[in-house]
Amino acid sequence: MSEDVPVYLKNGDLVKVNDHVYCSPSWDARDGTPYSVGRIMQFLPPADAPKGEEGKNYVYTRVRLAWYYRPSDVSDRPVADSRLLLAAIYSEVCDINQLRAKCHVVHRDKISDLSGWKKRPDRFYFNRLFDPYIKKEFEVIPARDVRNLPDNIREVLISRYEYVVAEKEIIPDLTDHMRLCDNCQGWCPSPDTVQCDRCKRYFHMRCVQPPLLAKPTRGYGWTCAPCSRRHEEEVDSHDVRHIVSAGPKALKSNAPPARGRGRPRKDKSLAEKEENFPVKHFKLWPFRYFGQHTVAEDTLDEEDLIFPRAATRQGPKYQATVPPAPDPYNYPPDIEERGGDSTVEVLGVINSLTDAEVAEVESCKKSLTRDPVVASSVDWLTEVIRRFSDAALAARPFTSVNMKSGMRLEKWKKFETAYTDKAFGHEEVVAFEDAIALHGPELRAARDEVHHRSMPEIVRFYGHWKNTKLKEENKRLRTKGPPPKPVNRQYVNEAERSGGLHVGLSDDEGSIVAQPSKSPSCGACRTRESTTWWKAPKGLPTNILCDNCGTNWRKYADLNVRPVREESVPTSKSKAIEKREGTPLAGPSSKRARLRPKLNVSHAPSKGH
């Protein structure tokens, strides 16, 4: 299906690629959690739709979303700002009907009035990125603020991406003016550069004499050769003086200028411009990692990975210290070397037999059993090969081999053992299947149900049982054929295509309380009047929320829970025990109630009265 097919949400809003939306399954499926915020990367047809031009006429059923995290999702630290989000280079494909409503997510530097932005509904902002794989947060800055780069790399970076992701300590290096080596006049990347502590000039570590193998340890500085020589001359001539600064010198900062204080004027056109600010995307992403573990020249390649990276564990502190090998042990001469004919157990010599002997073995093997299941059993075939091999080594005829005994004496065991497991009874199979249905392929739980079987027997039986189930399923597919696939809807004509696609779930199916109790009370703000009552998450005094609190919880994960009033606290001990499961977000105050002093009419009134 072509990209120009409009998609409308339940409330009638038109959404397109790179719009930000709320996404969530039904209330029961998400267990009361708030909506997730994501950016639409692309609309997708059904997974089994044909590829290429043939599949363009299929109706959208899926959508790929780039997720944003809330700070409470990645950390237990309380965050007062419910409009702050964390970007992520992480996407998932979801059902298109999970799209709820449209919202706006803008970088902090694009917002002129943050206070006014947060007062508007469905407005979020971000200035950091969270990587869910290495569990670390990074700073996000506009790509145009990166100046410490060669012109060709900087131009490519700005033309592709709107933002750059980097570690917090690397931001001053990236936003500084272009640094050139004082020796070769080449660009100085931060990992391969040292700065003189006296003249503040930069040098490649390979350009100084002697070349530096590593940067100075934290807390120590480095000086270039001219500055070191000049300092030595000053020391020798006793001209070293402690210079007292005339006054505090303003520190040079590469950060953007601070915003003016005060209440800015409300500009509706400016707010709309911030919402619709054009953002550059390259391969569906508006940012890439450009931190301390990035090689700047590699970013010119379009296939270079954009994900954040961690330090490689190749340094000396990550290596194992291997002690010197001990001297060779002098074994006694009467102990034979392992791996020889006298120390190994021969499992089969069929490969050394002639063609006539192999044909005789096959004919004798067919006479040992008539059960096709036993004849194809791996354990039975392994034991047959062993017994025919023993007969060949002992020069006995192959006709003397029989499988009457189910025991075998192995070379390194003192007692005979069964070459195959005892067949499971009907009750054992039923108990095993019940355990698999309840716990899945957790064989330790199955071992607890079939307790008189050993763990190796359970593992081997699981393999046989799984193979039997697959055999039955394949037989059913050959007999009845595969189940019919769901029919994917296609557009009949161009008029239907231009009419667009209406998607989204309604909250009425399980999130709205149609008939609340006789005296409903909001679990957060305690109000008793509301046009709509919403189901509340677990842990609140009541299981419903008013319209305002329910919307704030679903969209912003924000609940301003009012403390329980003093007169509403149960006085009897029996009522105090009957509490709903879960800890309330803000319980009643534990402070003692302040008692009012009794007025004495015999005292003179105070001045303020």
To the nearest 10°, report the CA torsion of 567, 568, 574, 576: -110
CA distance 430 to 428: 5
Indicate the residue type of 55: G
Average pLDDT, the chain: 82
Confidence of residue 600 (pLDDT cuts 50, 70, 90): very low
Q: pLDDT value at position 528?
A: 87
- DSSP readout, 225-286? HHHHHHHHHHHHTT----PPPSSPPPPP--SPPPPPPS-PPP-HHHHHHHHT-----BTTBS
- Sequence length of the chain is 609
Q: Is the dihedral of CA 186, 188, 194, 197 positive or negative?
A: positive
Q: Read off the pLDDT of each residue in 339-368 and give the average, rounded to a whole number.
A: 87
Alpha carbons 147 and 256: distance in angstroms, whole number: 13
Instruction: Please give the average per-residue pLDDT across 272-297, as a whole number.
Output: 88
pLDDT number for residue 80 = 85
What was the pLDDT predicted at 519? 83
| Residue 509: pLDDT over 70 | no
Q: Which residue has the higher pLDDT, 95 or 560?
A: 95
pLDDT at 577 over 50: no
Q: Tell whether the model's pLDDT for residue 454 goes beyond 70.
A: yes
Q: Which residues neighbour 604 within 8 Å (Cβ) at sequence distance 6 or greater?
A: none
Q: Dump pLDDT digits (tens) for 407-436.
A: 888 877 888 888 888 889 999 999 999 999
Who contacts 390 (Cβ-Cβ below 8 Å, separation ≥6)? 396
Structural domains of the chain in order of their starting residue, each with its CATH number? 7-132 (2.30.30.490), 350-409 (no CATH), 411-494 (1.10.10), 508-565 (3.30.50)
Sign of CA dihedral 245, 249, 252, 255: positive
Residue-wise pLDDT for 22-45, tens only, equals 999 888 787 788 999 999 999 988
Instruction: State yes or no: pLDDT of 574 exceeds 50.
Output: no
The per-residue pLDDT for range 41-62, each reduced to its tens digit, is 999 888 888 777 777 778 888 9
Instruction: Indicate the pLDDT class of residue 268, thresholds 50, 70 and 90.
Output: low
Three-state secondary structure call for residue 532: coil
Q: Which residue has the higher pLDDT, 333 or 109?
A: 109
List the one residue out of 22, 46, 50, 55 whose CA is nearest residue 36.
22
pLDDT on residue 584 = 43
**pTM to 2 decimals?**
0.65
Query: Structure tokens of 6?
Result: 């409009």
* Predicted pLDDT at 343: 78
Residue 271: per-residue pLDDT: 64
Q: How confident is the model at residue 122 (pLDDT cuts 50, 70, 90)?
A: very high
Number of other CB atoms surrounding residue 479 within 10 Å = 7
In which region does residue 73 sit, left (phi positive, over 0), alpha (psi from -120 to 50) or beta (all else)?
Answer: alpha
Task: Give the per-residue pLDDT at 245.
Answer: 44
Residue 255 scores a pLDDT above 60: no
